[in-house]
Structure 1
Amino acid sequence: MGNRGKGIGLGAVACLLFSGAVASANECRDDRVLLRGDWGQASFTVEVADDEAERNHGLMFRDTMPKSAGMLFVYPAPSDRIGFWMKNTLIPLDMIFLDETGTVRRVHSNAVPHDESPIMGGPGIMAVLEVNGGMAEIMGIAEGSQMRHPAFDPATAVWPC
């Protein structure tokens, strides 16, 4: 009866390749964040700003950014004093403030380019994701959404790596 029972069939190979692609898409990488909520899931390719010089420069002087890109600002410990302004920033941005578990605590939508008014995250913020203005609303990212990234300690993260 042909090759039945001998080796793996084409359907099984396709299934294995697909499951490998799904696993690959969900693996933790420094250059990508994954977000989830009752709205679904989203992924952004990110630059990580995890030292003072990188955090101070941020996305200033850039006139474009791909829709699926952003910058993740990571701080050494949670703080009540994490804030941003838009001085020298040329594009509108959404600022997604996260606590040490990777839970979204605040979303500030469409920060205005060049505005020097402080945008504060609130209590216990440890990371901030900046994406193109309006993307959080389009995707449904809101308070309570969860982020997955190696910056969050797997022992305390709500969606650990």
Structure 2
Amino acid sequence: MIRRLALALILICAASGAWAQCRADRVELRGDWGQLGFDVEIADSPDERSRGLMYRKSLARGAGMLFVYEHPQPVSFWMKNTLIPLDMLFLDRQGVVRRVHSDAKPRDLTPIEGGEGIFAVLEINAGLARRYGIGPGTVMRHPVFAEGPAAWPC
């Protein structure tokens, strides 16, 4: 449902010339360190969020998976069948990074808590958050944040 809504918003705004730089398959991150983007797959259904990046042997450096929830909530991840070490960015409804969990270990069963009020989680290759300076306060631009007062609107 969220994916269809985001796609509809993109099509409407693309027709009017707005949001030219916002795409459903890409996120942009910005902080005092600069700006960068990742091509993303969206996981916005319970089945997609449950599977995530499990069983994959690699993830391109400029790629990630964006987990999107119906409403802000406490979230928890684990790495049971995940083969790739990951960084996890936990974001609120406005697209602000609230927490970063770095270097999640493959196949680890330890719960990784995101905290309260999490609306989206971006998983990227381990070490990239530290390398680029991504941390709490970094903002994300993506169409899923269009329904609320986004910190960095499309």
Q: Which has the larger radius of gyration?
A: 1
Length, aligned pairs only: 137
Does structure 1 residue 160 correspond to structure 2 residue 153?
Answer: yes
CA distance in 2, matches of 1:149, 1:112: 27
1:1-161 equivalent positions in 2, closer than 5 A:
27-80=21-74, 82-161=75-154
TM-score (norm 2): 0.86
- Give TM-score, length-normalised by structure 1: 0.82
Asked if structure 1 preserves the Cα contact closer than 8 Å seen for 2:93 and 2:148, the reply is no
Taking only the aligned residue pairs, the percentage that are identical comes to 60
Q: Is the 8 A contact 2:89 2:122 kept in 1?
A: yes
Structure with bigger strand share is 2
SS at match of 1:123: strand
Separation of aligned partners in 2, 1:137 and 1:150: 25
Runs of 4 or more above 2 Å deviation: none
The Cα RMSD (Å) is: 1.5
In the aligned structure 2, how far is the partner of 1:93 from the partner of 1:158?
A: 25
Q: Matched residues in 2 for 1:96 and 1:125: separation?
A: 10
- State the 1:133 CA deviation: 0.4
Deviation of residue 123 (structure 1)? 1.2
